[in-house]
Structure 1
Amino acid sequence: MSIFKKIFSKSRSLEDGIFFDAIEKILGFSPKNLENYKKAFTHRSSNRLNNNGSPINYERLEFLGDAMLSAVIAAYLFTEAPNGDEGYLTKMRSKIVSREHLNELGKDLKLIQFIESKVPVQHFGENIHGNIFESLIGAIYQDKGYHYCEKFIYNRVIIPYVDISKLEGKVISYKSLVIEWCQKEKKIFHYDIFEDNAIDGQRLFGVKLSIDAKVIAKARATSKKKAEEKASQRAYFAFQEKMDKR
């Protein structure tokens, strides 16, 4: 082996050792196949390919992790909420695995530090945190199977964060809540969206929410979705007493 190869080998071995220790601390157990976890943090911008010419990135693991997370949470709720019907269980699961919550979980574990990408981290949207959290779960399943996957979800999601009584009152989408109430009460609602570049040249979206031809709430945010949600939240507080009786 050449001197260059020896140096490279030692460097790669050291790098793997650091990654192994960091991942082991997050997982709570020793990983068996480190490549699964490396893939879990590989962004498509890396343009990596396997021997067959197929892309190497976390997207397939994210799909798998999403399914495993949903299954474990569903089984937990089925046991812990024996009187809940299908609609109740579905809503509760949605609250636990909401994109907002998954993003928070990814941030808490500081998973972004492991990302391999040609795109600067600051250019990623918020959802990158939840995406790689799900891909990590997919990697666990690939590496160690269902039991370890379930154990990780219990330790990192259910035990520290899931309180069924508190979740029952949690609103995960004010827009959905407002729309549901308007439809039930036969009210006509409309979201008027416009661009507003007034602050430091930053692209912002303004939203006016009208109910029965009357403007109820206004909001601005960096995306249409966020602006609609913010306006809906303000509308909810304006009609909270009526909506809570729905």
Structure 2
Amino acid sequence: MAGMNRNYDELEKKIGYQFKDINLLITALTHTSFANELKVNKTDSYERLEFLGDAILEYIVSEYLFLKKKEYEEGRLTKLRASLVCEFTLSQISESLGYGDYVRLSKGEELTGGRKRKSILCDLFESVLGAMYLDGGIEPAKEFVHRFLLDDVETKSLFYDAKSTLQEFCQKHGRQLSYELIEERGPEHSKIFVSDAVINGKVTARGEGPNRKTSEQMAAYKTLLQLRKKQD
């Protein structure tokens, strides 16, 4: 089967875990479209592993926050957890680990940019985690999440509330914040929106996304990263 004999050593080095059963990793990197295209049994895609990985991830992050953020009440813990496991954050980590280069997609999914699609990259974070848990238990799964997601909670959780965080900052410092839609491009089914964040009439950052709101959020996120650098 195509992709079955691929060398996964490089990926295992990046994630810091060597699989005893490499087929678990292969399944974790198999999109439903690929399984369907080859008329493979549907359980051969990553969907079931993603379901498991989602629960494992929630447990690991919840335990970490419970132990580390003793001063936070339940509502604040819930919000912080949601910001850490959001699609943007998980897809960024998957992208940095090169999951997009290894995922097995149908020809159609490949042609429409599936390797870089945030929703797929987010799924892969969870499916590989699920595979890791089945292969080696909770310890390597914890190690992975701590190393790649919980290494910098403050920055990793920034995107989720970027617009409201930046708004609060500007109100506090008496600055005027606005967003300008600069461009819409691409075909109707996969449009890209481009927006600028503008503070006191000056463009601070530019963001892109599949809709206007996400492009503004990305611009706000980039602005917050810049502000944070200045404070360091």
- TM band (smaller chain): 0.5 to 0.7
The TM-score, its normalising length taken from structure 1, stands at: 0.62
The TM-score, its normalising length taken from structure 2, stands at: 0.66
Counterpart position of 2:118: 126
Counterpart position of 2:148: 156
Distance 2:78 2:55 in 1: 14
The verdict on how the C-alpha distance between 1:205 and 1:127 changes in structure 2, with shifts beyond 3 A counting, is same
Distance 2:141 2:208 in 1: 40
Q: What amino acid is the match of 1:136?
A: V
**Equivalent pair of 1:40/1:139 in contact (CA under 8 Å):** yes
Q: Secondary structure at the match of 1:162?
A: helix
Report the identity percentage.
26
The verdict on how the C-alpha distance between 1:142 and 1:149 changes in structure 2, with shifts beyond 3 A counting, is same
Query: What does the per-residue CA deviation read over 1:129-171, in whole Å, with 9 as the maximum and x for residues that have no partner?
Result: 121111110110111111121111122222xx4245x678x35
Counterpart position of 2:22: 34
Q: What amino acid is the match of 1:129?
A: L
Counterpart position of 1:136: 128
Q: What amino acid is the match of 2:132?
A: I
**Equivalent pair of 1:26/1:109 in contact (CA under 8 Å):** yes
The answer to whether 1:67 aligns with 2:55 is yes
Q: Secondary structure at the match of 2:160?
A: coil
The verdict on how the C-alpha distance between 1:56 and 1:177 changes in structure 2, with shifts beyond 3 A counting, is same
Distance 1:88 1:82 in 2: 11
CA RMSD of aligned residues (A): 3.9
Aligned length: 191
Counterpart position of 1:107: 95
Counterpart position of 1:44: 32
Query: What does the per-residue CA deviation read over 1:103-123, in whole Å, with 9 as the maximum and x for residues that have no partner?
Result: 110111011111111121652
**Equivalent pair of 1:65/1:135 in contact (CA under 8 Å):** yes
**Equivalent pair of 2:88/2:159 in contact (CA under 8 Å):** no
With a CA cutoff of 8 Å and minimum separation of 6, indicate the structure with the bigger relative contact order.
2
**Equivalent pair of 2:94/2:125 in contact (CA under 8 Å):** yes
Counterpart position of 1:185: none
Distance 1:73 1:147 in 2: 13
The verdict on how the C-alpha distance between 1:83 and 1:28 changes in structure 2, with shifts beyond 3 A counting, is same
Distance 1:40 1:229 in 2: 30
Counterpart position of 2:200: none
Unaligned runs of 5+ in 1: 1-7, 179-195, 208-218, 238-246
